[in-house]
Structure 1
Amino acid sequence: MFEVIEELKREILVLLMAAMPISELRGAIPLGISLGLSPIHSTIISIIGNMAIVPVLLKTLNPVMIFMEKTYFFSKFIGWVKRRTLKRTRATIKKYSLLGLFILVAIPIPTTGAWTGCIAATLLKLDYKNALIVILSGVLTAGLIVSTISYQIFG
């Protein structure tokens, strides 16, 4: 019984790590492997965790950012996030359209991923359905890349 609870705790930890904005898959897959999950198990849980947040973000980011921009406490931070995201993504996404968004999400380097892709798609007012499909495809690709690298390091 305790083994099942311990396994579930590890899986939930990996799932939550994958849904977080900075770590995402890049942190969750190695974490899962280091906690004793198999590379495939860790990858699947991480991809699910990272994908689960995407529809929510695409639907809620715009109203949340508009609301937070009106507050004294968050207005500067939201302005900074918008400027930074647009500066880093606008040229690529405008040049390559949805392929640019896919590349932004799929290449597992710091400050890229599902969260940045969702912010960019929201700020650039991309179609929800197209952005969702492209970001989920990018998450899957990033998961496979990070899994391969993690397996080489931990395996």
Structure 2
Amino acid sequence: MSGFMDWILLAALSMLPFWEGRYTIPAAIAYGFDPLAAYLWCAAFNILACPLIFFALSVLYTKWLCNIDVIRRVYEACVRKVSSKDSRVLERWQELGLLVFVAIPVPVTGVWTATLLAWLFQLDMRKSVLVISIGVLIACTLTTLATIGVLSIQL
């Protein structure tokens, strides 16, 4: 299984929220894809989702969502909280926090959630994309190693 459409399917799955590379890689390997090729392809498309999500959030918010009172209030509350004195922890740990958040390959800690958090907290987009990308590489590496049996977790 390695036809053109199979690679397109892997790319699409790698960009889906809550699925991303951490689930696409094991599926790809199970269907006979080379582990290294699956890792590189899935990680690349998972990373590609990050700037696209930033852009989509910015456009959606400025064009439509800011006109919905509830959404605007939640967004403004997040911004106020971040800019308050209580946000020292976020200011100190924002990049490392995003990296660790994405690097741990468990559900809901992927690119989509991290990008949403970075956008809500108005973190620098370039730094956030870089840090989230490194987190994706770590998560995809751990997932690939676990899938091929190099890494195991004993409970």
* TM-score interval, normalised by the smaller of the two chains: 0.7 to 0.9
- Alpha-carbon distance between aligned partners in 1 of 2:90 and 2:13, rounded to the nearest angstrom: 27
Q: Which structure 2 segments of 5+ residues have no match? A: 82-86, 151-155
- Alpha-carbon distance between aligned partners in 1 of 2:24 and 2:89, rounded to the nearest angstrom: 27
TM-score norm. by structure 2 comes to 0.77
Q: 1:141 aligns with which of 123, 135, 138?
A: 138
Identity %: 25
- Alpha-carbon distance between aligned partners in 2 of 1:54 and 1:110, rounded to the nearest angstrom: 17
Aligned residues: 139
1:1-155 equivalence runs, <5 A: 7-66=3-62, 67-68=64-65, 70=67, 93-94=90-91, 96-152=93-149
Instruction: Give the AA of the match of 2:5.
Output: K
- Alpha-carbon distance between aligned partners in 2 of 1:9 and 1:49, rounded to the nearest angstrom: 15
TM-score norm. by structure 1 comes to 0.77
SS of equivalent residue, structure 1 residue 63: helix
Contact residue 39 and residue 147 of structure 1 kept, 8 A = yes
SS of equivalent residue, structure 2 residue 14: helix
Point out 4+ residue stretches in structure 1 off by more than 6 angstroms.
none
RMSD, aligned CA:
2.8
Instruction: Give the AA of the match of 2:21.
Output: L
Contact residue 105 and residue 112 of structure 1 kept, 8 A = yes
Instruction: Give the AA of the match of 2:11.
Output: L
Contact residue 15 and residue 46 of structure 1 kept, 8 A = yes
- Alpha-carbon distance between aligned partners in 2 of 1:35 and 1:59, rounded to the nearest angstrom: 33
Instruction: Give the AA of the match of 1:53.
Output: A
Larger radius of gyration: 2
SS of equivalent residue, structure 1 residue 152: coil
